[in-house]
Amino acid sequence: MKQSQFESRHQAEWQVFDETLDAFERGKKPPSTLIAEFPAAYRRLCQQLALAQARGYSTHSIDNLQLLVQRGHQQLYRHRSPLTGRLLGFFLGGFGRLVRNEWRYVAVASLLFYASLLGMGALVLAYPELVYSLIDPEQVAQMEAMYDPDTSRLGRFGERDSGDDWVMFGYYVMHNIGIAFQTFAGGLLFGVGSLFYLLFNGLMIGAVAGHLTGIGYHQPFWSFVVGHGAFELTAITLAGAAGLKLGAALVAPGRLTRTEALRLAAAKAVRLIIGATVLLLIAAFIEAYWSSMTYPSAPVKYAVGALLWLLVGLYFLLSGRNTHAPD
């Protein structure tokens, strides 16, 4: 894009940003809509400055943008809300908007993960011996013991009492977050790593689900996973989407350098993985303190699980639609 076209496209936006800065600097309060939009406008201005520098635009144009960025930085951090408020705003609205904005990556990650999960589950049901092509016999035996209908605590190898719930909570946190970060960081291998971990985890979960269903352990297994699965499986796909976004920036950076394209993509990808991490913390808590219980009946667990899936779906569908808080 020529410099003249670039400046014409963004001149009105820069003018509004400059006027907002003038109001802040004079101690006046700009309109509430401009205040709400200010952080997002600042991030766009930083991206536009980076583009101007990468394309070798004139020193005069770059200097003007640099001055706006410096003034914006000063005002942003002077008026910025406390960390707690920013995090609350992100999870009340920004996270949902971000996921909807990145729906293409989320859709691809979800398709890869759930298609491999369901496909492998169906194959293992049809050909039971296939489970041993992915999981060794000892691990299969452990899985069978964990979901034996006669066990006192589901999803655990060996008998444990309720006092060990916090230990399992810590284990689930470390294990699940490890999977999510593998899937996310795999995007740095031009997206191949994220593709691999999405498919691998889908195949593994599908193989376990198909095997346990096939041997008649379907009720303890599905009543165990249905509750925390809403958060855990969603988090895995979001981690995959974040990794795919990084990979896409490296594979197709456009007119930017790969470093600059990666930096811009990471700004959103990191927020996705932060949100996914919180979902995994919720999943670990439910898994340790609710999913493993055997005294609630299976229908009760299915009902709770359906409600949790509905709540997660409504959150990503509706949160942040009626607010102007920045992402």
Q: Where are the alpha helices (DSSP H) in 55-89?
A: 59-79, 83-89
The predicted structure's pLDDT at residue 322: 66
Does the structure show a pLDDT above 70 at 80?
no
Does the structure show a pLDDT above 90 at 87?
no
Contact 220, 149 (CB under 8 A): yes
The predicted structure's pLDDT at residue 325: 44
Residue 179 neighbours by CB distance under 10 Å: 18
Q: Quote the percentage of the chain above a pLDDT of 90.
A: 53
Instruction: Please state, in angstroms and rounded to a whole number, the distance separating the CA atoms of residues 210 and 22.
Output: 63
The predicted structure's pLDDT at residue 254: 85
Average pLDDT, the chain: 88
Residue closest to 320 by CA, chosen among 104, 105, 100: 100
Residue closest to 275 by CA, chosen among 150, 94, 123: 94
The predicted structure's pLDDT at residue 242: 97
Q: What is the DSSP string of 99-115?
A: HHHTHHHHHHHHHHHHH
The torsion of the CA quartet 119, 120, 126, 131, rounded to 10 degrees, works out to 180
Instruction: Please state, in angstroms and rounded to a whole number, the distance separating the CA atoms of residues 224 and 219.
Output: 8
Range in 97-101, 112-116, 158-162, 232-236 with the lowest mean pLDDT: 158-162
Range in 51-55, 112-116, 280-284, 307-311 with the lowest mean pLDDT: 51-55
Taking the mean position of all CA atoms in its chain, how far away is CA 325? 19
pLDDT digits (tens, 9 = 90+) for 234-268: 999 999 999 999 999 999 998 888 998 898 899 89
pLDDT digits (tens, 9 = 90+) for 277-287: 999 999 999 99
